[in-house]
């Protein structure tokens, strides 16, 4: 990712993304937050809000760090000494924090991942990191679920992959229809997890079948 200096201060860096699109610099981003504060009806120069634009921009750097990481490279390193292992590997209850791309409000929940290795086994922390990498982008849950499963299938080439996500969307619980306590369940089943009912049942039994039937994206 290339950077060019527009002004004399580091806060004026303007970045160019991999697709060549210009990304606003920090100064522009903070100015946009000030505009939103004013639009909401408050004074960005009052004591409690003077540092808010900077804090919001720094928070966005954390919330959306996944845009600057490569999920394929993350899974590239595998363990050769476990190549003979051919039973299902499951990592469940991975905490998930993302943001809805429609309203940029939190999606909070958990992800469950299972796969049947075919000679390539990856460290379990990499699976949790993969979830985080895709979650730290503006998302919809169906796409997030598919991205995780498809990347595992593409890189590790296992016999099958299963991903289930259960999450609450604050765009639904704190605004609009305002229905707290509602969770959404999505799944992506590939290979043997899709075509072999026994494998699918074993995976769902291990993770503890979600309270509602998963939607297979």
Active site residues: 100-103, 141, 169, 171
β-sheet with 215-216: strand ranges across: 138-139, 89-100, 106-116, 160-169, 184-191, 215-216
Q: What Å distances lie between residue 63 and 59, 111, 140, 151, 205, CA to CA?
A: 6, 18, 15, 21, 32
For residue 213, the 8-state DSSP code is P
SS3 of residue 90 by DSSP: strand
**Beta strands per DSSP E along 106-153:** 106-116, 138-139
SS3 of residue 101 by DSSP: coil
Closest CA to 189 of 155, 156, 158, 164: 164
Burial class (CB in 10 A: 0-12, 13-18, 19+), 193: buried
First to last CA, the chain: 32
Q: Record the tokens describing residue 184, joined without a space.
A: 């959404």
């Amino acid at each position: 990712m290339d950077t060019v200096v527009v002004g004399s201060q580091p806060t004026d860096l303007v970045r160019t993304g991999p697709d060549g699109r210009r990304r606003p610099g920090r100064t522009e981003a903070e100015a946009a937050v000030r505009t939103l504060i004013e639009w909401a009806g408050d004074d960005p120069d009052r004591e409690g809000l003077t540092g808010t634009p900077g804090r919001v921009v720094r928070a966005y750097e954390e919330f959306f760090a996944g845009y600057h990481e490569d999920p394929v490279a993350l899974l590239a390193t595998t363990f050769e000494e476990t190549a003979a292992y051919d039973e299902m590997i499951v990592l469940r209850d991975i905490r998930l924090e993302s943001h809805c791309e429609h309203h940029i409000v939190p999606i909070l929940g958990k992800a469950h991942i299972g796969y049947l290795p075919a000679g390539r086994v990856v460290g379990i922390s990499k699976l949790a990191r993969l979830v985080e990498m895709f979650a730290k982008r503006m998302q919809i849950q169906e796409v997030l679920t598919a991205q995780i499963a498809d990347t595992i299938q593409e890189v590790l080439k296992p016999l099958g992959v299963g991903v289930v996500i259960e999450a609450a969307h604050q765009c639904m619980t704190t605004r609009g229809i305002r229905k707290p306590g509602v969770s959404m369940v999505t799944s992506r089943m590939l290979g043997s997890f899709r075509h072999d009912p026994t494998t699918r049942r074993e995976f769902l039994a291990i993770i503890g079948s979600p309270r509602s039937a998963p939607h297979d994206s």
